[in-house]
Amino acid sequence: MYTAEIPTLDSQKLKTDLYKMIGDYFRENNLSKLANGRMYSKIIFGFTWWIASLVMLFTIPASPAVYFFLYVFHIFSQLYIMLNVGHDANHDAIFKNKTISKLFHYSFDITGINSYMWREMHHNQHHYVMNVDGYDEVLIARKLFRFTKRAKMRYLFRFQHIYTFFLYSLFAIDFVWVKDYECFFFPYTDSLKANKPPFIEYVKLFLFKGLYVWYMLYLPVYYLHYSWGLVLAAYLVGNMLIGIIGAMVIQVSHQLSSAEFPESKKEYKTFVDHVFATTADHSLKDPIANWCYGGLHLHIIHHLAPDICHAHYIELTKRIKPIAIENHAKYRMHKNIFGAIKEHYILLKQLSKDVEAENSA
């Protein structure tokens, strides 16, 4: 992992230089900040995979073992769409046409995740309060994890570094079956309580959840006549696999032992300082990561300019490091996701102990 840290950070110049670099990149190369050819190919790839695997599920006569494999294969297409299409689409970072852009919001909904609530949580309760305890929704984690020293210690947290990967495997299942409903009907953050969803969003919640249950569970059992046991087993295994992969890709950009966890976003001179203090990149040169992770591994540029399509992140991220060094900013880049996961684990292990209690003993 590369770390550049020099005491005298020039905050204003860092901000100016970074946004100038971003503007120059698109202007000098005559590019739009939205989708390019690479992004269109990823969209085609993702939906071709999703449709083709779904067609295979319902047209190919298969033994239970083969059907299990095909079912899990289809679920992985859902993860690809979530990361590579749904995330950008719900940032309106793909299409200039607003109607088409809004239509692609539903790329989340067809995979079982409510796009309206995702935007409420992600845009309002994460993007501008990264790692701020009490404001960043990611840190709440249903009080099952302790990500900051400010979080009150619970006995359960002593084992968080042990159970973390199992709970992460439930990430997708939780979102589809629990979290969306919880946020709609039992809001647990101030932002959710203050902003009740419009009636139409409740309609769309049940409409898309019903569609998801229909094609993922009902049809395989009542149309194809596979047993409930087989279908549920394939559903659980597939979603646990994509759950842990998705959770790892997402969590290791912020919840790291080297990251800062401010009490308030006002602690920093600029928003750019906040981004660098709380966010890290990884896997810049990994072709698999660059095709599969939806740009979430290049997270600095995403938080600096979330309305830019992730297909541009590789080239922009290459330009961030020298600017950070020039302006004495701390920039973290892990060579691969495993280095980032290791640092995430170290944080969980450190916070599994009540340091203040131990020091006062």
Output the six-digit token pair for 253. 């950009």
Kindly give, in sequence order, each residue whose CB lies less than 8 Å from that of residue 310, ignoring residues fewer than 6 positions away: 39, 84, 87, 88, 93, 294, 295, 296, 298, 302
Instruction: Answer yes or no: is pLDDT of 258 > 90.
Output: yes
Residue 10: per-residue pLDDT: 85
Domain boundaries in the chain?
Answer: 2-35+268-354, 38-251
Q: What's the CA gap between 115 and 105, in Å, rounded?
A: 6
Write the pLDDT tens digit of every residue in 44-100: 999 999 999 999 999 999 999 999 999 999 999 999 999 999 999 999 999 999 999
Residue 190: per-residue pLDDT: 84
Instruction: Answer yes or no: is pLDDT of 4 > 80.
Output: no
Q: Are 86 and 116 in contact (CB under 8 A)?
A: no
Strands of 185-341 (E only): list them.
Answer: 281-282, 331-334
Output the six-digit token pair for 126. 């994460």
State the chain's mean pLDDT as an integer: 93
Task: Residue 299: count other Cβ atoms within 10 Å of its Cβ.
Answer: 24
Output the six-digit token pair for 1. 């992992």
What is the pLDDT averaged over residues 170-184? 95
Length of the chain, in residues: 361
Q: Beta 2-4 vs 281-282: how paired, if at all?
A: unpaired
What is the pLDDT averaged over residues 340-344? 96
What is the pLDDT averaged over residues 256-267? 93
Given the structure tokens 């992600």, which residue do they identify? Answer: 122
Instruction: Answer yes or no: is pLDDT of 252 > 50.
Output: yes
Strands of 183-328 (E only): list them.
Answer: 281-282
Which stretch of DSSP H or E encloses residue 2?
strand 2-4
| Of 2-6, 19-23, 273-277, the least confident | 2-6
Kindly give, in sequence order, each residue whose CB lies less than 8 Å from that of residue 95, ignoring residues fewer than 6 positions away: 34, 35, 101, 104
Write the pLDDT tens digit of every residue in 213-229: 999 999 999 999 999 99
Given the structure tokens 């297909």, which residue do they identify? Answer: 311
Instruction: For residue 207, give the amino acid letter.
Output: L
Q: What is the pTM (predicted TM-score) of this model?
A: 0.93
